[in-house]
């Protein structure tokens, strides 16, 4: 244990060392913005929901005629790659 901590066996010495290097490991300031966190949480939840709903979107698309906008919209939602690319573009 002495080799790992370099002979620091006092708790106060360890906390001083940790405090001196902690400024190197701080996350960016925008991560503390609650609006940013809420938006990220909503997007992540929608991505998880979409993952489990792909089969339902495919079944729903077959209820409409192939020329309708509803068919095309449901069919594009059933394509995981299309949703992934659109998410990356926005």
Q: Which tops the pLDDT comparison, 18 or 45?
A: 45
Strands (E), the chain: none
Residue 1 confidence (pLDDT) above 50? no
Rounded CA-CA distance 89/81 in Å is 12
Q: Is the pLDDT of residue 80 over 60?
A: yes
Region class of 68: left (phi > 0), else alpha (psi between -120 and 50), else beta: beta
Q: Say if pTM beats, i.e. exceeds, 0.75.
A: no
pLDDT at 29 exceeding the cut of 80: no
Q: In terms of pLDDT, which residue wins out, 30 or 67?
A: 67
Percentages helix, strand, coil for the chain, rounded to the nearest 5?
80, 0, 20
Instruction: Measure the CA–CA gap between 28 and 38, rounded to whole angstroms.
Output: 16
Q: Which residue has the higher pLDDT, 47 or 8?
A: 47
DSSP category for residue 1: -
Sign of CA dihedral 4, 9, 10, 11: positive
């Amino acid at each position: 244990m002495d080799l790992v901590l370099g002979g620091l066996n006092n708790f106060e010495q360890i906390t001083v060392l940790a405090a001196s290097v902690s400024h190197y490991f701080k996350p960016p300031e925008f991560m503390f913005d609650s609006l940013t966190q809420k938006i990220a949480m909503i997007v992540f939840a929608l991505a998880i929901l979409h993952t489990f709903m792909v089969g339902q979107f495919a079944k729903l698309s077959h209820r409409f005629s192939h020329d309708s906008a509803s068919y095309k919209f449901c069919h594009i939602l059933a394509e995981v790659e299309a949703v992934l690319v659109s998410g990356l573009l926005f």
